[in-house]
Amino acid sequence: MEQRTFFNQSLSWNPTTWLGNKLIRLVVIFFGAFLSIFWLSLSPIGANTSANIQFVSPSWVEENADWKVLDVRINPLQYIEGHIPNAVNVADNIFRGPDGFLPVQYWDSEKIVDLFAKAGISNDDKVIVYSDDVNILGATMVAYLSERSGVEDIAVVDGGYKGYVNDNKTVTKEFLSYELGRFSLRDNTSVRVDLNELQTLIGKQGVVIIDPRPADLFEGKINLWVRNGHIPGAKNIPWQTFTEANNADETLKNPHKLKSLDDIKEILASRNIQPTDNIIVSCSTGREATLQYVVLKHLLGYPNVRIYEGSWTEYSSTNLPIETGPEKTI
């Protein structure tokens, strides 16, 4: 049979050559797939890199005018009456809602980043967050969600808007004209724990669960949920103890201002909480927990701190064990 040739290469079938080519193709496909997985593992999408969250003074805010500013006060009239220059008002409560069963749960990650984009935030922006003088939790919650969504540089105004005004810093009533942000989701799963994982950690050596709710809720004295009390073994450290909320000097009383880090370290040491512990913070709805998360992880540098976002609202709706009364001491 006459053989046809093209570019001097025979088109006749050779089993050895065919098998060799097939193996080469398989190797190329496998290697290509391996490289794709490798590069995806380095991608920021789903990366568990940590952000840098800091507490800053009003003077620092004025000196860093290139940062984006989020005013997360819930009442829009407060923003209209006066705000930090270049601030955009995005109330902290818009980041949560019902999930088909539980109330006040964080929206899914895609919706959260859409809200940030509508407030003019992009992935690479540096973001300042503040709230009113009674609501540091709103500021730390939005700071936490910024980290969770992929923002890397975040600052919370120590003292909030009250502290900023009391420091005689510039305020304005002008509304900022801005462009929508370009925000690609970078879901940082390392900052949180879900119910399934939490169940496996309760009672384990080296695991500490901090509950920052008021003592009456922690002990189950208030009939609020279907089941009242706390997660077994949890330590009750109300969030206000980290702030100047109860300062005896009325002029210094401010729940949006942190105590000194030395004072906070003493509180933690008195409760036998160590930097090496695997720490989970769980509260009522995942909001109060954000203050202690930010302080422990970012200001004190504790490496293993996460939030149980479902918190008591989710946990109390299950049949998992609970405890009531004051925390048990060992």
Written as one string, the DSSP assignment of 67-98 is: SEEEE--S-HHHHHH-B-TTEEE--GGGGEE-
Fold of 52-189: Oxidized Rhodanese; domain 1 (3.40.250)
Q: What is the predicted pLDDT for the residue at 46?
A: 34
Helices 136-149 + 109-118 axis angle, to 10: 110
What residue type is 329 in one-letter code? Answer: T
Cα–Cα separations (whole angstroms), residue 287 to 61, 213, 223, 264 = 24, 10, 20, 19
C-alpha–C-alpha distance, residues 131 and 87, integer Å:
11
Q: What is the predicted pLDDT for the residue at 27?
A: 44
Question: Which pTM value belongs to this model?
Answer: 0.85
Q: What is the predicted pLDDT for the residue at 7?
A: 35
Catalogue the active-site residues. Answer: 283
∠ Cα 114 311 112 (to 5°): 0
Question: 52-189 and 194-315 share one CATH topology?
Answer: yes
Q: Determine phi and psi for 329, rounding to 5 degrees.
A: -105, 145
Of the CA atoms within 13 Å of residue 267, those in its CB half-sphere come to: 22
Q: What is the predicted pLDDT for the residue at 254?
A: 93
Do residues 110 and 184 make contact, with C-beta atoms less than 8 angstroms apart? no
Q: Is 240 exposed, middle or buried (0-12, 13-18, 19+ CB in 10 A)?
A: middle
Q: What is the predicted pLDDT for the residue at 26?
A: 47
Q: Which CATH superfamily is domain 194-315 in?
A: Rhodanese-like domain (3.40.250.10)
Q: What is the predicted pLDDT for the residue at 135?
A: 80
Q: What is the predicted pLDDT for the residue at 40?
A: 33
Average pLDDT of adjacent 10-residue blocks, the chain of 330 residues: 37 47 47 38 40 98 98 98 98 97 96 98 97 91 97 98 96 97 92 98 98 98 97 98 94 94 98 98 98 98 98 98 90
Q: How far is CA 116 from the centre of its chain?
A: 13
Q: What is the predicted pLDDT for the residue at 134?
A: 80
Alpha-helix residue ranges (DSSP H) falling in 171-288: 195-201, 215-219, 261-270
Q: What is the predicted pLDDT for the residue at 44?
A: 33
Going from N- to C-terminal start, the domains of the chain cover 5-42, 52-189, 194-315
C-alpha–C-alpha distance, residues 118 and 132, integer Å:
22
